[in-house]
Structure 1
Amino acid sequence: MRALSLLVTRRPWLVLLLWALLAALSAYPASLAPRHLSANPGELQHAESTRVTALLRERFGEKDTNTALLVTRSVPPLTTPQGRAAYDRFVAGLEGVPGVTRVLRAGAQGAVPTVSPDGAMALTVAQIPLREGATQALARVRAYAAAAESPALNVRVTGGQAIADDFTAFAEGDTKRSEFAALPLTALVLLGVFGALVATGLPLLVGVLSITVAMAGLSSLTHFTEVSTFAQSVITMLGLGAGIDYALLMVNRFREELTRGGDARAAAARTVLTAGRSVLFSGLTVAIAMAALILPPIAFVRSMGLGGVLVVLLTVLASVTALPALLALLGERVNSPRRLRLSWSQSGAASGAWTAFARRVTARPWLAVVLSTLFLLGLALPARDMRTGYAGAWGLTPGVESRDALADVRDLGAGGLLSQFEVILDLGGQRYGPADRARFGQVVADLRALPGVQTVISPFLTPADLAGEAASGGTDALGAVSLLTRRSFSADREWLRVTVIPDRYLRADQIEPFEARLRETLSASGFRFLLGGAPIGEREFSHAITDALPAAVLTVFAATFLLLMVAFRSLLVPLKSILMNTLTVGAAYGVVTLVVQEGFLAGPLGIPGDVGVLDSSLPLLLFAVLFGLSMDYEIFLLSRVQEEVLRGHPNDEAVVLAVGRTARIITSAALIMFIVFCAFIAGRVVANKSIGLGLAVAVALDATLVRLVLVPAFLKLAGRWNWWLPGWLDRLLPRVRVEH
């Protein structure tokens, strides 16, 4: 650190020139990143649903299994000649849209109702490409639907691709809106903290700089793998939050060093050696926590982890290089021009009010520890009933077209079209023969009889199937049989296919019970089988993430423990830090579960009451971000406690003095974080709103109840054991010193 401090303070113009060049080179790629991000969760390489998709493509010739659902409202209704003629013209035009490979007219789904009883509402299905060109094909479908709008015909589009594309578009919009909303409010808080415009601008500069370069890195990553649209939100949250946190700490220490005499460059160098070390260790803990997102074998989730690690490391780098270089050049001008004459905002001196507060807390440490712990555990209780999964369209707020149109599909009774299960029966290398017909027919009959099944698409037609094919435009029974035979038998007739359509759109927590009934029936059939389709893919994706959570948690715990043990030469301090951060994360889980899943106070926060589940990536993402950010405040406080102990103060007095020195910085940084996170609650994507809510709650609790009540009280109770380390271990560990 000493070499770095000398470099950035003796060659400040060189350091700033390099950062300016990097920012200029990053600006254009960063602007391109959002358009390449995706809300498609992807697929697991060796999962059962992935094998089913591959078999449908390779053995059954299914190329375009992606669908767009178009809900039309007709005036006059389809039951009239005029209404039917207008609808037929609409379908004829839809069939000519580039990228649309097949159109199923209203009524073509047989037992699935696609026309309302009064004929006013109808459902049309358009098949589009599954991967390459899917977004472009959907955009053309939406453009055609918009052009076909008239007083007599209203069209809304939904479906899996429409929902994914809306997620991407609104997540990007939410992020931009959050940045614009958070930055002015953040500037006001910083102005109140520093009382000077120059000092106010520096933390904002660090945040914007790190976000720009990190977004450029994310843009490069999109060329190699699918990148989550939520990676942009992670980068913005951490870049603004952590960047401003670290800059706040550095600027405050620099102002403190200026009051002790010496020139600006010496003060900046001492700032790097003290606050810079704290920033470095704090950033490493956040990066370690974000790296937990790289563990699940899902590119979509890994991209969020890579984005988080990238922006944190860049934020640390900017904080210990670009910022002290600026400070070395600014000197006393960092306090200019003074706009607020608040005594506490004009220097880095200790706060008398917070020092007195710390004395009151440490005077009754048991009371503080017990009451704080019980309160946090109480907030965490709802998390016991947490349900996770893919919320689909219900993960968007009302007013988004794909969500509102899906509600219409549900009202028609056709919601099951988006929850189709694909069953592949394996004949074990033998061609389908007369002896298999009875067994195959019995499987289909058993599946039809299951509760919650609306229809089964197979070669064994029912009167409803025939009526549906006839309604699709004059197809006769023979044509229907031919079509169903082609889709139900592989080209080599060694694989059989059945499509099961539920009687409603299945929410994430409803998939497994339905799947269990299917598997029980299929297991009794005597066929070897594979089960796929969108619900199975969603369930497998969700489980892959949640199954990675224990390993991620243990990895972060172990790495954080080792890092803090080296930094603070203690066994108890890192253990205490992990336990208290876990309490904060648990409380955030509980609040998010209560609001988003159970609907408590969901309305005032603009969260739909029918989401029912938390996004499957939310527990892991919240844990990684919260655990890392909580360590920020932990290291800010503990490093100052250790510094006071090393100066010769007794443990109890060191705790009080440390709180007096850091409380104002911690609470100011937390307020800024709170503003940044709350800005995301105002968005249209429920997952973003959930992340913002969880982080805002956690930061508010962590920077007040945990850091300023629970931690000081615990440090008082532990006394000299806070800094105990076995002699043999002390000799083995590398020696570092963390101060600020």
Structure 2
Amino acid sequence: MFASWGALAHRRRWVVIIAVVLLTVIGGAWGAGVFGKLTQGGYDDPGSQAAHVDKVIEDSIGKQGGDVVVLYTAPDGRTVDDPQLAQKINDRLSALPGSDVGKVVSYWNTHVPQLADATKQHGLATITLASTNQSEQITQYAAIADKLAVDGVQTQVGGLIPLQKAITDRSMSDVELAELISLPVVLALLVIIFGSAVAALLPVLVGGLSILGALAVLRLMSLGLDVNTFAVNVASLLGLGLAIDYGLFTVGRFREELAAGRGTAEAVRRTVATAGRTVAFSATLLVIALAGLMVFPLDFLKSVAYGGMSAVAIAALVSLTLLPALLGVLGKNVDRLAVPWRRSADSEPGWLNKLAGTVMKRPTLFVLPIVAVLLVLGSPFLNVKFGAADEKQLPPSDSGRQAIESINSAFPSTSNSIAQVVLRSTNGAAPDQAAVGKLVTDAGGIASDVHPVGAKGDVVVLSVKLPGDPLSDQARDAVTSLRALPHPANTELMVGGFTAKLADSTQAIFDRLPWMIAILVGATLLLMFLAFGSVLLPIKAVVMSALSLSATFGVLTFVFQEGHGAGWLNVTPAPMQIGVMVLIGALVFGLSTDYETFLLSRMVEARNKGMSTPDAVRTGLVRTGRMISAAALLLIVVTGAFGLSEIVTMRFIGIGMIVALVLDATVVRMLLVPAVLRLFGDASWWAPGPLRRFQERVGIKESEDAEDEPASHSREPEPVH
């Protein structure tokens, strides 16, 4: 199939080029509209008890807290009760446009004591925006943001919507900066790797078009779904990075075929039959890995899954359509504009030959220490704690973060440490007042500052100040204890709030995590068996990917939670976001399998030519080692640019990817995998008879002779020392 497609892409090369370029450019131009439709929500389980509490409160006594919170601080020597200041603040808030603002509640229009601090230096105003749609709320907030300041009064603006807008704005600017930095660096590295400016431009072109295609898919998604900001970040990262990787392998294989003396048409056909087949296979595995995120109820993970899957699929499609057609047009001109140090495409790096020989001779001396080091690197993850996205996503110097911290300091009752307890009658009558009083007393034995905040019909709402930090085990235990409080018959007791949402979302992820693992492992075992016809190779691939993943998680915990080196990264140590950890897991597992596929495909290819196991492993490492190292380096540059983001989540993803790529493309693929295969010996390629026959019937293979005649290497195994 792939050989036939390669021949067709060469014959209809101009049609393919024009069609792909037009589709991606037009789609990207339309897809740019997605930037106005991005959201920052989706981090909570919409089916959880805490989410249900929010809906019950909003339906019964109305939305609490407002979308925008403004802290006004009186100048020295004056208080918020000063009549002149009060008049100026009231006039400013009253002038806000009704088209954008639904309701304003402030200390100055209600005189509620809780809206001013004890010193009367600070006063609060909460603003409920006119829309309930998050994208529209961000637009409405942008319209009033410059109309909140009052002359002579320090004004700080916080709240959920300003926080989301700040994160979205910084995320978008970070994407532009990352691409601005990474593309020139990647192009320069490709020139060094290929030794030709023309060959270097091809993967970059594929990467740019892949991003445009991914934007079109995200815009299409936004018509019916909420698209989280990070979906665009991840789509850009994967679209650019993987398209460059796929282009690197494809162009590299084409140059090998030309160097072997084949004509352009045959070189294109064989390139698609070999490298193209591997690209399609590895992209399928990565799409399945990202699809595993869709088992979770959090819209954030689903949104990122859609973005990542579309970016990977489009990168593979462009690599399998546009790239072969361009190679067919260029032919030997792919090596034009060569640099003086250009090496022959079929030359074998001497250092890889030496490395492969050393690993083959002493495999045990590589396997045991490497596995031990990876396990030690992963050990900090045993003490991981999970948190949630809050103002600490922004750098300490950000005015939005400073505003939220000032509000929480001056008004602890507005902080995330407040839980809402709902007592709702199931028979339509109002809850018994004696029962409500007992509930207040019982809750007071668990937490502090328990008081009613509203009652209507069959619902009573209490506010409870949880002990400790809202992300602490103490606060979570208090939520569990509150939910376990006895309550009268015919009533329902529910607990919501920030800590409750975090606990519910974390539990929802843990409940569904086995399904994701089953998808990742099952798909890898099945597809790699169909591709390579071996039982041990897929199992080994899963174990290697798990080792890379555990080491990556351990390093991230060591830095971002425990704080080692956090000052250098300008991040505040905090519990990890479990949703982002799951995302990193899918990406790292998928990319680990991706490099494993490229490495094993050449080893199996060599084995099928008649080489012995040591020779096949050595040949696969030598022929792909340089390309895998180059691909990892290029992807490190792309993800490293995202690691410069001022948003902690993007910096977390960027650094996590860098750690994973460094470990996987060097220690694991270059040393551990060849050493393990050497220890396995001929058993590496074994499968039971029935499975072997099944793989030969339905396996992922080429029916045409895409390769040379079998080599005359002996299959006699070498002794293992």
Same fold by TM-score greater than 0.5? yes
- 2:399 matched residue in structure 1: 401
- Distance (whole Å) between structure 2 residues aligned to residue 524 and residue 516 of structure 1: 18
1:537 aligns with 2:537: no
Query: Is the counterpart of residue 730 in structure 1 residue 692 in structure 2?
Result: yes
Contact 2:69–2:126 (8 Å) recurs in 1: yes
For the residue of structure 1 that corresponds to 2:209, the secondary structure is helix
Cα displacement string for residues 36-69 of structure 1 (whole angstroms, at most 9, x for unaligned residues): 11111265443223332332333x2515753322
Aligned-partner Cα distance in 2 for 1:87–1:511: 37
Equivalent position to 1:555, from 492, 497, 519: 519
- Partners of 1:66 and 1:130 within 8 A in 2: no
C-alpha displacement of 1:516: 2.3
What amino acid is aligned across from residue 230 of structure 1 in structure 2?
F
In the alignment, which residue of structure 2 is the partner of 1:694?
Answer: 656
Matched position secondary structure for 2:39: coil
Secondary structure of the residue aligned to 1:115 is coil
Shift in alpha-carbon separation, 1:546–1:689, aligned structure 2, 3 A: farther
What residue is the counterpart of 2:433 in the other structure?
Answer: 437
In the alignment, which residue of structure 2 is the partner of 1:86? 85
1:298 deviates by 3.0
State the match for 2:711 in structure 1: none
For 2:332 and 2:473, the matched residues in 1 are separated by 59
How far the C-alpha of 1:114 sits from its partner, in A, is: 3.8
CA distance in structure 1 between the aligned counterparts of 2:131 and 2:61, rounded to whole angstroms: 13
Distance in 2, matches of 1:729 and 1:177, equals 50
What residue in structure 2 maps to residue 341 of structure 1?
A: 340
More moved, 101-110 vs 356-365: 101-110
Q: What is residue 312 of structure 1 aligned with on the other side?
A: 312
Conserved 8 A contact 2:352-2:622: yes
Percent identical among aligned pairs is: 29
TM-fit CA distance, 1:109: 9.3
Indicate if the aligned counterparts of 1:293 and 1:552 stay in contact, CA closer than 8 A: yes
Distance in 2, matches of 1:100 and 1:77, equals 34
- Aligned partners of 1:419 and 1:534 also within 8 Å: yes
Structure 2 residue identity aligned to 1:251 = V
Shift of 1:149: 4.8
Report the residue type matching 2:518 in the other structure: L
Aligned match for 2:579, one of 617, 621, 634: 617
1:372 aligns with 2:352: no
> 2: CA distance between counterparts of 1:80 and 1:328?
75
* Aligned position for 1:360: 358
Cα-to-partner distance string for 1:595-643 (whole Å, 9 max, x where unaligned): 111111011122223xx21122122111111111111211111111111
Distance 1:511 1:22, change over 3 A: farther
For the Cα contact (< 8 Å) 2:440–2:450, is it kept in 1? no
Alpha-carbon contact 1:425-1:528 (below 8 Å) kept? yes
The whole-number CA distance in structure 1 between the counterparts of 2:335 and 2:690 is 48
Supply the AA of the counterpart residue of 1:456: H
1:489 to 455, 471, 474: 455
Corresponding position of 1:277: 277
Q: Secondary structure at the match of 1:24?
A: helix
Q: Sort the Cα spacing of 1:454 and 1:84 in 2 relative to 1 into closer, same or farther, 3 A.
A: farther
8 A contact 1:409–1:415 mirrored in 2: no
- The equivalent of 2:719 in structure 1 is none
1:21 aligns with 2:29: no
In 2: Cα distance, 1:198 partner to 1:127 partner = 56
The two structures have a TM-score, normalised by structure 1, of: 0.89
What are structure 1's unaligned runs of at least 5 residues?
Answer: 459-487
The alpha-carbon distance between structure 1 residues 418 and 26, as it changes in their structure 2 partners (threshold 3 A), is: same
Deviates more, 1:72-81 or 1:31-40: 72-81
Q: Which amino acid aligns with 1:174?
A: D
Compute the displacement of 1:659 (Å): 1.2
The residue number in structure 2 matching 1:384 is: 382
The structure-2 alpha-carbon separation of the partners of 1:534 and 1:173, relative to structure 1 and needing over 3 Å to count, comes to same
Say how many residue pairs are matched.
696
2:659 maps to a residue whose letter is: V
Matched AA of 2:451 = V
Question: CA contact under 8 A between 1:380 and 1:590: conserved in structure 2?
Answer: yes
Select which of 566, 579, 591 maps to 2:555. Answer: 591
Q: 2:321 — aligned with what?
A: 321
User: What SS does the aligned partner of 1:101 have?
Assistant: strand
Q: How does 1:502-517 map to 2 (within 5 A)?
A: 502=466, 506-507=470-471, 511-517=475-481
| More off after superposition, 620-629 vs 123-132 | 123-132
1:161 positional shift = 2.1
Q: Give the letter for the 2:455 counterpart.
A: F
Structure 1 position 26, deviation (Å): 0.9
- 1:467 is matched with none
Q: 2:451 aligns with which of 435, 456, 463?
A: 456
8 Å CA contact retained: 2:40, 2:229: yes
Q: Which residue in 2 is equivalent to 1:468?
A: none
Tell me how far apart the structure 1 counterparts of residues 480 and 110 of structure 2 sit (CA, whole Å).
29
Distance verdict in 2 for CA 1:15–1:388, change over 3 Å: same
In 1, the alpha carbon distance for the partners of 2:172 and 2:112 equals 39
1:128 aligned partner: 129
**What is the root-mean-square deviation in Å for CA atoms of aligned residues?**
2.5
Helix, strand or coil for the counterpart of 2:142? Answer: helix
| Shift of residue 70, structure 1, vs aligned partner | 1.2
* Equivalent pair of 2:467/2:478 in contact (CA under 8 Å): no
Name the amino acid aligned to 1:332.
K
> Residue 498 of structure 1 is aligned with which of 462, 475, 486?
462
2:710 is aligned to none
1:7-52: CA deviations, max 9, x gaps? 1011100000111220232122221112211111265443223332
Aligned to 2:104: 102
2:53, 2:80 → 1: CA distance?
42
- 1:144 matched to 2:142? The reply is no
User: What secondary structure, in the 3-state scheme, does the structure 1 residue paired with 2:67 have?
Assistant: strand
Distance 1:726 1:503 in 2: 60
- Alignment partner, residue 156 of structure 1: 156
Question: What residue identity is the alignment partner of 2:363?
Answer: P
| Separation in structure 1 between the aligned mates of residue 659 and residue 111 of structure 2, nearest angstrom | 47
Report deviation, 1:231: 0.8
Find the residue that maps to 1:617 and give its secondary structure.
helix
Q: Which residue of 2 aligns with 1:675?
A: 637
Q: CA deviation at 1:319?
A: 0.9
1:605 paired with 2:569, answer yes
- Cα distance change, pair 45–507 in 1 and its aligned pair in 2 (3 A): closer
Instruction: Map 1:144-293 onto structure 2 (within 5 A).
Output: 144-145=147-148, 148-150=149-151, 152-293=152-293
Alignment correspondent of 1:7: 8
Deviation at 1:113, TM superposition (A): 7.4
The answer as to whether partners of 1:107 and 1:113 remain within 8 angstroms in 2 is no
CA offset at residue 115 of structure 1? 2.6
| Equivalent AA in structure 2 for residue 104 of structure 1 | S
1:447 aligned to 443, 447, 470, which one?
Answer: 443
The answer to which of 548-557 and 396-405 deviates more is 396-405
Q: Report the secondary structure of 1:302's partner residue.
A: helix
- Residue 584 (structure 1) shift: 0.4
Once the two structures are superposed, what CA deviation does each residue of 1:679-736 show, in whole Å capped at 9, x if it has no partner? 1121121111111111110000000000000001001100000000111111122133
- C-alpha distance in structure 2 between counterparts of 1:508 and 1:178, whole Å: 34
Q: Give 1:678 shift.
A: 1.3
In 2, the alpha carbon distance for the partners of 1:210 and 1:500 equals 50
Q: Secondary structure at the match of 2:290?
A: helix
- Indicate conservation of the 8 Å contact 1:289/1:625, yes or no: yes
- Does structure 1 retain, via aligned residues, the 8 Å contact 2:288–2:520? yes
> Which sits farther off after the overlay, 62-71 or 360-369?
62-71
What corresponds to 2:713 in structure 1?
A: none
The residue number in structure 2 matching 1:462 is none
Name the counterpart of 2:716: none
CA deviation after TM superposition for structure 1 residue 428, in Å: 3.3
Q: Is the 8 A contact 1:391 1:508 kept in 2?
A: no
Superposition deviation, residue 495 in structure 1: 2.2
What residue in structure 1 maps to residue 712 of structure 2?
A: none
Amino acid in structure 2 at the alignment position of 1:105: Y
Letter matched to residue 248 of structure 1: L
Match of 1:115 in 2: 117
